[in-house]
Structure 1
Amino acid sequence: MRLFLILCSVLGATVAIADPLPSWNNIESKEKIVSFVDEVTDPASAHYVTPDDRIAVFDNDGTLWAEQPVYFQFVFAMDRLADLAEQDPSILTTPALEAAAKGDLAAILEGGHEALIEVVNASHSGTSVDDFQAGVAQWLETERHPGTGLPYDQMTYQPMVELLRYLRDEGFKTYIVSGGGIHFMRVFAEDAYGIPPEQILGSYADSTYKVIDGSPTIIKAPGLAFIDDKEGKPINIERTIGRRPILAAGNSDGDFAMLDWTTSGDGPRLGILIHHTDAEREWAYDRESPIGKLSDGLDQGPDKGWIIVDMAQDWSRIYTGAN
């Protein structure tokens, strides 16, 4: 795009240049993002970054798609558990599992972290990765969000989808680094965001390798092997990608370490926090929310030079699946 602008200037042509971020209002957040991208991709810039080092990482829940009233993967877990319990009611061995099968989210949340893990273990284990992902795909095709009526994979944020596309057009490699499960996110992320399965980092359970009826199979087992949240995010990035990103985006204090590590490196860096301020078109929440709590980022992010995106003010459109 930069070369095209230079040629147009030399030739005296007047042309309309496509806006790479049309759903972002023309205010400070958008200007800072575009300025950063121009700076690191212009070979004549003192802050030029070679394509190999143009790594951008994004949280998923609350950053690329919605996360209220509870993480969408957990809604899937409850629905899946209810289906499994219809076939075999004996699997409902605890109050948390009984509540999940009934769709009683409040009761599960009262049980805290242990109750959540029980539901995830019961609904996600004991099946092959292929069968599990087929179940996720079917769920995404048939289920709708109770508040918006949209398919869950259409509750991706249009401005963030545009940002991902813009970065890739400018030579960035984009990754998801999320607390969500890798096998869950890999089902939809390529279609929704243009991010292939090998560029998705997330939480993952234990697994086993078995040969079943002559077919080598990966089986999802109970127990979390790695939780990709908080300090786990930069650890997983270093372990898996092997390069420190130059851009990181998140929405909660679970992303703080990822943004802090990214922006503390040498050279040009950019941190972006999505602040959910739009109670009319989405939800408004931050410091007191049990889902997507954002406190440390609001307090420390501005002094660290991070962009705090005000969803209500900065975005002209919210979801890809709605105007």
Structure 2
Amino acid sequence: MPDEFLRVSRRALTAGIAASLMAGDALAQEPPPRDPLPSWRDGPAKRAIFTAIRRSVRDGTPDRVPPAERVAVFDNDGTLWVEQPLYTQFAFAIDRLKEMAARDPALLQRPILKAAVDGDMRAVMAGGERGLAEIIAVTHAGMSQAEFQRIVTQWLSTARHPRFNRPYTQLIYQPMLEVMRLLRREGFAVWIVTGGGQEFVRAFSAPTYAVPIDRVVGSVGKTEFRLGADRSSELFRLPEAEAVDDGPGKPVGIGRFIGQRPQIAFGNSDGDIEMLQYATTGRGARLGMFVHHDDAAREFAYDRDTHIGRLDRGLTLAPQWGWPLISMKNDWLRVFP
């Protein structure tokens, strides 16, 4: 395993010791190497991560990337946390819709909203993107950005996953947290690039992933500035989409918000294909990887035959493009923290 990633920084570790000990003695007293990815089994996926980072940061090599240009991007749903049996944001939307319908039963006269409240996911999915957009518009608009984030934060503090009975923010993937930590240590800027709502993910990205809100790129709804008579001001959420950060929209969002082509990209579904293509077609060391959900015992097993996190084209393209698959079953010693 590469020495660069199996040691605590030699410079930081030995600086104090070298002042009072001979150099040889200092090296002799170094602690044994520590694996920065302890939740990963040794194998091709783990080695691919180490190799890409080593090539990007090693001095004197043609693939070295200056620290200011080191960028790694991660999809969220299914890449950093659980997305089955429903996207977490959609579970939030349904719970909020139920609360709203209790106050205003007239909402249930709209078929797609009634199907969502009744738990008829077949009918909801049959409505396609238009039906989902209607549910999101009703439950995510008509309030300020600050109020929306307050509602999301409150929901996340009480909501539990239907299978694991744990908060959604505890159902994050420990192996991916370790990769993010390693990348930061090696000078990479770590971003989340998600098809989910940008403000929804920003509500928990910092405490959950240590990713600040200004490094979250997602789908964005339209907002407008409003100034009150008392000179208070707010950004008010409108029931319209401004940009959808999925599929080919992901590279566009990366260009708009990050302004640099990433060297490393992690996804899990066909919606991440264009992001991986964008990341891995530049010069120098490049890495694109898919998290493959193949562990029904510890999480879920799905790829082609699902409406949530479908990985179909990606399975075909991965070997053609040199994107290693991360097997949740075989590559991860543990799934959740």
Tell me the TM-score normalised to structure 2 length. Answer: 0.90
For 1:249, give the aligned amino acid.
F
Percent identity over the alignment is 43
Deviations 1:213-234 (A, max 9, x none): 5211111111111100000000
Shift of 1:13: 4.5
Mapped partners of 1:37, 1:20: distance in 2? 12
Contact 1:78–1:101 under 8 Å retained in 2: yes
For 1:279, give the aligned amino acid.
A
Aligned equivalent of 2:18 = none
- Is 1:305 matched with 2:305? no
Mapped partners of 1:150, 1:217: distance in 2? 34
Aligned partner of 1:154 among 152, 170, 173: 170
- Is 1:244 matched with 2:265? no
Contact 1:82–1:102 under 8 Å retained in 2: no
Question: 1:156-235 to 2 correspondence within 5 Å?
Answer: 156-214=172-230, 215-235=232-252
Runs of at least 5 residues in structure 2 that lack an aligned partner in the other structure? 15-22
Shift of 1:125: 0.7
Shift of 1:107: 2.7
Mapped partners of 2:151, 2:189: distance in 1? 29
Aligned equivalent of 1:102 = 118
Shift of 1:315: 0.3
- Is 1:294 matched with 2:311? yes
Mapped partners of 2:98, 2:30: distance in 1? 61
Is the partner of 2:160 in helix, strand or coil? coil
Is the partner of 2:203 in helix, strand or coil? helix
Contact 2:62–2:284 under 8 Å retained in 1: no
- Is 1:43 matched with 2:49? no
- Is 1:316 matched with 2:319? no
Mapped partners of 2:326, 2:184: distance in 1? 21
Aligned equivalent of 1:69 = 85
Shift of 1:14: 5.9
Shift of 1:204: 0.9
Contact 1:253–1:296 under 8 Å retained in 2: yes
- Is 1:113 matched with 2:129? yes
Give the total of aligned pairs. Answer: 320
Mapped partners of 1:305, 1:153: distance in 2? 32
Mapped partners of 1:102, 1:310: distance in 2? 35
Aligned partner of 1:4 among 10, 20, 30: 10
Is the partner of 2:208 in helix, strand or coil? helix
- Computing the radius of gyration over CA atoms, which structure comes out larger, 1 or 2? 2
Mapped partners of 1:208, 1:104: distance in 2? 34
Contact 2:64–2:284 under 8 Å retained in 1: no
Mapped partners of 1:297, 1:115: distance in 2? 26
**Runs of 4 or more consecutive aligned structure 1 residues displaced over 6 Å after TM superposition:** 5-10
Shift of 1:102: 3.1
Is the partner of 1:281 in helix, strand or coil? coil
Aligned partner of 1:129 among 139, 142, 145: 145
- Is 1:145 matched with 2:161? yes
For 1:229, give the aligned amino acid.
D
Shift of 1:93: 3.6
Distance 1:213 1:150, change over 3 A: farther
Shift of 1:296: 1.8
